[in-house]
Amino acid sequence: MSNPIVDAVQKHPAPEGLKYTYGTAGDKGVSLTNARMHSPTRTQRAVASTFIPLAIGSTCTALLSLALPPCDVLDSVLTRVGLVAALRSRSLKGKWIGVMITASHNPPEDNGVKLVEPLGNMLQEEWEVLSTEMANKANGDEVLQYYQDIAAKYRIDLDGPARVVIARDTRASGARLLGCVQDGLKAAGAEVKDYGFLTTPQLHYMVRCLNTEGTKDAYGTPTEKGYYEKFGAAFKTALKGKKPQGSLTVDCANGVGGPKLVELIKYLPPKGEALDIHVVNDNVIKPESLNVDCGADFVKTNQRAPPTSKTGPGDRCCSLDGDADRVVFYFKDTSNVFRLLDGDRIATLVASFLGDQVRLAGLADSIKIGVVQTAYANGAATQYVEQHLRLKVDCTATGVKHLHHAAEKLDIGVYFEANGHGTVIFSPDTLDTIAQYEPKNPGQAEALSVLRACIDLINQSVGDALSDALLVEVVLAHKNWGPQEWLSTYTDLPNRLLKVLVSDRTIFKTTDAERKLTSPEGLQKQIDAEVSKVRQGRSFARASGTEDAVRVYAEAATKAEAEDLARKVAELVKQAGSS
Ligand code: 16G
Ligand code: MG
């Protein structure tokens, strides 16, 4: 007898010889970069480079040794993700679950999918494992069996409601993959809302709005207009009549952030009254231009502006990534030298501002702010937060979900990765305190009103490049700063990031938020010895979660020392990886 789940799965059969696994916790042998590098033909490259982030922070990699038409690689996975999304929703009594089809900053031919939990946060780790298992089941019968096993294990009522929200970025393969997810959702009997094209953070916003509608925690109206109205109004209120200096040029990576920013601008105070925004690299008609020579990843990795950039000295610019959940700022100084203002800089700027507002509002005794970073944060940024701002710094492993969880433990948690992923989250108690506090004088009232507007302006479900960029503008306007003043708060230690190819990256195991290696034995001691030879030295090595490589980071008092240290540590890693 035919079963709709078996039928849907058979409609999108899994390609033979493919294994799908997480990126950030990558399994032995699964190698994105190696597969790319060793796949000379166009077809093979496209196939091998396709990856599947099954949840935020966990990239799922498709590795194969045979060439297949690229379009087939993800179809089977997307149908199964539809089934998992329906199960996850049923396990939460019909709460809305989000499915976002995007491969973020990766090349246009790649694609992937993320699942979003009801409050807009990332999928629970236990369900990441279930998703991965499901993605690797061989055929319809196995999938159906596993579907029923999950239902039995978690006591899920398969006749209960399942609700799923979907959106996608502008990649050419998105439409087809959407069909594959829908086949899975339909087979599972889920109610589906398809929002078409959205940025990843917009999808997170919709999920949170839908699940909180009509409650005391209502987050907003679950429509695109609702998103623009909420963030647009909060921007205006937070500015308090202050006008940012100059203009802001936003490079949208030729991704979905472009048209969405153009729309958002219509809800911001008119040009001349507040911020003048120039939108560049917003060509979504040519999907093959996505992330090519532009976008946050290009700028951060190459430490230079996109070649198309035409701005002059002192002009503020920022770049989004392909799904607009990441942003970095930059400008040319008076000597025409490129200056990057990355996630570390955003975190320090925002933490200092929120700290001031909390103090001015008279709430410093009841609300503590903390900053969450990863080991990649520049030592000077960490020192600035601890010694100048006198705020606590937590360090977590790489990956947004780790930072988010650490920030959730704070009253106000400011978290950013150096690469520009990040946001600020306020604890429920802090939100209550700020909502209920009665100001004692006009100064307190003013600061309180700024704080309340910032809470609305910050997308607390996930890092949102558009909301983060507006927040930066608000802070700069209040401080009456241009990018040079922002840069002058501290001086970065010279640093160097290297990638080392090894035969098995899984032997590189770390502890202490990836700052120390526990394996291979003896390697950490050798690294420590090198670090001690340079002034203000710091270095660590960690296996990448998204590429088959070990990353080496080093910083020191001078450029020469930092580069030398990085080279020496990379050499040690290479030796340890080949023995
Ligand atoms: C993923 C993560 C990012 C992290 C990067 C590290 C999310 C949404 N993305 O892109 O946060 O910085 O992986 O890559 O969590 P790596 O392990 O290859 O260094
Ligand atoms: Mg992204």
For residue 464, how far is its CA from the centre of ligand 2 (angstroms)?
9
Q: Give the closest ligand to the alpha carbon of residue 326.
A: 2
Poorest-pLDDT segment among 49-63, 138-152, 351-365, 472-486: 49-63
pLDDT > 50? residue 316: yes
- Ligand 1 neighbour 419 (Cβ under 6 A): yes
pLDDT over 70, % of the chain: 91
Kindly state the average pLDDT of the residues 243-252. 95
The structure tokens listed for 41 are: 């033909």
- The tens digit of pLDDT for each residue in 512-545 reads 999 999 999 999 999 999 999 999 999 999 999 8
Biggest distance spanned by C-alpha atoms of the chain = 74
Size (the chain), residues? 579
The pick from 21, 22, 24, 506 for probing ligand 1's pocket by mutation, whose C-beta has the most ligand atoms within 8 angstroms, reads: 24
Q: Give the closest ligand to the alpha carbon of residue 499.
A: 1
Rounded Cα distance between 3 and 271, Å, is 57
Kindly state the average pLDDT of the residues 371-376. 98
Kindly state the average pLDDT of the residues 388-404. 96
Ligand 2 is a single-atom ion; what residues have CB below 5 A from it?
104, 321, 323, 325-326
Poorest-pLDDT segment among 6-20, 241-255, 275-289, 422-436: 6-20
Where does the pLDDT of residue 45 fall: very low under 50, low under 70, confident under 90, or very high at 90 and above? very low
Where does the pLDDT of residue 73 fall: very low under 50, low under 70, confident under 90, or very high at 90 and above? confident
Poorest-pLDDT segment among 70-84, 214-228, 553-567: 70-84
Kindly state the average pLDDT of the residues 127-144. 94
pLDDT > 60? residue 68: no
Kindly state the average pLDDT of the residues 418-447. 97
Write down the number of H helices and E strands in the chain.
20, 21
- Ligand 1 neighbour 56 (Cβ under 6 A): yes
Cis ω on the peptide bond leading into residue 4 (within 30° of 0)? Answer: no
In the numeric block, the tokens 């991704």 are attached to 255
Higher-scoring residue by pLDDT: 48, 320 = 320
- Active site includes 449? no
List binding-site positions for substrate.
Answer: 417-419, 542-546, 551
Closest CA to 536 of 492, 487, 488: 492
Rounded Cα distance between 31 and 546, Å, is 8
Closest CA to 391 of 400, 381, 406, 399: 381
Half-sphere exposure (Cβ direction) of 235: Cα atoms closer than 13 Å? 28
Structure pTM?
A: 0.92
Q: Is 96 helix (H, G, I), strand (E, B) or coil?
A: strand
Give the containing element (helix H, strand E) for 495.
strand 495-500
pLDDT score at 22: 46
Question: Cα–Cα distances in Å, from 60 out to 26, 86, 96, 388?
Answer: 8, 20, 23, 40
Q: Whose CA is nearest to atom 12 of ligand 1?
A: 399
In the numeric block, the tokens 């060793």 are attached to 38
Could you say which DSSP state residue 15 is in?
Answer: P
pLDDT score at 546: 82
For residue 475, how far is its CA from the centre of ligand 1 (angstroms)?
27
pLDDT score at 66: 33
Contact 153, 92 (CB under 8 A): no
Contact 537, 470 (CB under 8 A): no
